[in-house]
Structure 1
Amino acid sequence: MHEHGLSLEAIYQARRRIADEAVRTPLVRSMALSTRFDADIRLKLETCQPTGAFKLRGAANMLAALIEARGREALAAGVVTASTGNHGRAVAYAAARLEVPAVICLSRLVPTNKVAAIEALGAEVRRIGASQDEAFAEVERLVRERGMILIPPFDDPRVVAGQGTIGLELMEDCPDLDRVIVGLSGGGLLGGIGAAVKAIRPACRVTGVSLTRGAAMWESLKAGHPVAVEEVESLADSLGGGIGCDNRCTFALVRKVMDDHVQVSERAIAEAMVELLENEKQLVEGAAAVGLAAMQEHGLDVRGQRVALILSGNAVSLETLDRARVMAGY
Structure 2
Amino acid sequence: MTQTNFIGIGEIEAARERIAATIRLTPVNVSDTLSTIAGVPVHLKLEHLQHTGSFKLRGAANAVSLLSDEERAAGVVGVSTGNHGRALAHAAKASGVRCVICMSRLVPQVKVDGIRALGADVRIVGRSQDEAQAEVDRLVAEGMTMIPPFDHPSVIAGQGTLGLEIVEQIPDVDTVVVPLSGGGLIAGVAAACKARNKDIRIVGITMERGAAMIASLKAGAPIEVEEQPTLADSLGGGIGLSNRYTFAMTRDLVDETWLINEAQIAAGMRHAYWQERQIVEGAGAVGIAAVLAQTFKPQGPVALILSGGNVDMKQHFRVIGGEDVDLMKELA
CA change 1:307–1:222 in 2 (3 A) is: same
How far does residue 323 in structure 1 lie from its aligned partner after superposition? Answer: 4.2
From 309, 312, 315, the counterpart of 2:310: 315
Structure 2 partner of 1:267: 263
Q: CA deviation at 1:86?
A: 0.1
Q: Which amino acid aligns with 1:226?
A: P
**Aligned counterparts of 1:185 and 1:106: Cα–Cα separation in 2:** 16
Residues 258, 295 of structure 2: 8 Å contact kept: no
**2:107 partner SS:** coil
1:87 aligns with 2:98: no
Aligned-pair distance for 1:211? 1.3
- The equivalences for 1:15-164 within 5 A come to 15-66=16-67, 70=68, 72-145=69-142, 147-164=143-160
* Residues in 2 aligned to 1:323 and 1:129: alpha-carbon distance in whole angstroms: 27
Residue aligning to 2:7: 6
Amino acid at match of 1:89: R
Query: When the two structures are superposed, what TM-score results if normalisation uses the length of structure 2?
Result: 0.94
Aligned equivalent of 2:329: none
SS in 1 for 2:172: coil
Cα deviation for residue 77 of structure 1 reads 1.4
What is the CA-CA distance between 1:3 and the residue it aligns to? 4.8
CA distance in 2, matches of 1:173, 1:295: 21
Partner AA of 1:206 in structure 2: I
**Secondary structure in structure 2 of the residue aligned to 1:76:** helix
Amino acid at match of 1:308: A
Q: Deviations over 1:219-266 (max 9, x none)?
A: 100000000011000000000000000001100000011001100000
Identity score, percent: 52
Equivalent residue letter for 1:106: M
Q: Which amino acid aligns with 2:281?
A: E
CA deviations on 1:157-176 (whole Å, 9 max, x unpaired) are 11000000001001111122
Query: Helix, strand or coil for the counterpart of 1:275?
Result: helix
Q: Does 1:177 align with 2:178?
A: no
Q: Could you report, residue by residue, the CA deviation over 1:82-101 in whole angstroms, capped at 9, with x for unpaired residues?
A: 00000000000000001111
Root-mean-square deviation (CA, aligned residues, Å) is: 1.7
Distance of 1:143 and 1:49 partners within structure 2? 29
Deviation for aligned residue 1:37: 2.2
Residues 228 and 299 (structure 1 numbering): CA distance in 2 closer, same or farther, change over 3 Å? closer
Counterpart amino acid of residue 307 in structure 1: V
* Contiguous gaps of at least 5 residues in structure 1: none
Distance 1:73 1:3 in 2: 31
Against the structure 1 CA distance between its residues 322 and 163, is the aligned structure 2 distance closer, same or farther, given a 3 Å change threshold? Answer: same
Q: Note the alpha carbon deviations across 1:176-221, whole angstroms, 9 max, x for none.
A: 2100011101000000000000111111100011211211101100
Mapped pair 1:228 → 2:224: yes
Aligned to 2:209: 213
* Structure 1 residue 24: Cα displacement: 1.0
Rounded to whole Å, the distance in 1 between the matches of 2:97 and 2:297 is 48
Instruction: Look up the equivalent residue of 1:126 and give its one-letter code.
Output: R
Deviation at 1:59, TM superposition (A): 0.3
**1:23-82 C-alpha deviation (Å, 9 max, x unpaired):** 11111111222223221110001112110100000000011122xxx3x33211110000
1:292 to 288, 295, 301: 288
| Preserved CA contact (<8 Å) 2:58 2:159 | yes
Deviation at 1:269, TM superposition (A): 0.2
Report the 3-state secondary structure (helix = DSSP H, G, I; strand = E; otherwise coil) of the residue aligned with 1:51. Answer: helix
- Deviation of the 1:133 alpha carbon: 0.6
Distance 1:298 1:36, change over 3 A: closer
- Deviation readout 1:91-135 (Å, 9 max, x if unpaired): 000000011110000100000000000000000100000001100
Count of paired positions: 323
Unaligned stretches of 5+ residues in structure 2: 326-332
**Mean Cα displacement is larger for which, 28-37 or 233-242?**
28-37
Letter in 2 for 1:19: A
Q: For residues 186 and 298 of structure 1, what CA distance do their matches in structure 2 show?
A: 24
User: TM-score, length-normalised on structure 1?
Assistant: 0.95
Give the AA of the match of 1:17: R
Contact 2:54 2:308 in 1 (8 A): yes
Separation of aligned partners in 2, 1:206 and 1:65: 29
Determine the C-alpha separation between the residues in 1 that align with 2:212 and 2:305. 20
Q: 2:295, 2:223 → 1: CA distance?
A: 29
